[in-house]
Amino acid sequence: REGVSVRHPARFLLIGTAHPDEGDLRPQLLDRFGMTVGVRTANAANSRFEVLRRTSQWEQDPEKVEQTFGGEDGALKAKILEARGKLSSIKVDRALKVKISTLCSTLNVDGLRGDIVLNRAARALVAFEGREEVTEEDVRQVAVSCLQHRLRQNVVSDSVDNRERVVLALIKEFGAGPPVPKTE
């Protein structure tokens, strides 16, 4: 403004929340979110109690809570940074890239961001898991989160769940839906 301009290199991650009462996100903004997930409040009494217990602990002694979970947090951070360093070497077979684009085309995903994000998410998963090449299972694992919000205009307030549409398209293109989540 007024002849002053500053550039600063930055890497950032956009995380947003939405509630139906807050209205819809414009498609131009929604398209900028690479992945979406639905989050529900844990309703089991013991889970809710654990949240209250940890909140109380944090209010009384934040340093103790940081000591308790700091090791796990540090290990996860190291794993993420290691995966980030490996991203450029992760391989995606051309035939698999074609299947990803065919999937997006089948779902009538507007623009190319869905194709790009699905490729990136699958590569990130592979890097995080310490592998070297993307498989169909990796694509199927991340596809719903990458594509479900790209299939409608009013992602927040309409009651349409496009997860099923993505799953059916995965079955058509890959012969299977998302794999069963791994438990550790």
For residue 126, list its beta bridge partners. Answer: none
Give the separation between CA 108 and CA 120, rounded to whole angstroms.
19
162: left (phi over 0), alpha (psi -120 to 50) or beta: alpha
> What are the helix (H) ranges across 43-112?
45-60, 62-86, 94-106
Candidates 26, 113, 140, 152; catalytic one: 113
Question: Amino acid letter at 127?
Answer: A
Does the annotation count 26 as an active-site position?
no
d(CA 27, CA 36): 14
Two structure tokens written together for 146: 């990458």
Determine if residue 111 is left, alpha or beta; phi over 0 gives left, psi from -120 to 50 gives alpha, anything else beta: left
Q: Where does residue 134 rank: exposed (0-12), middle (13-18), buried (19+ CB within 10 A)?
A: buried
Catalytic residues: 113
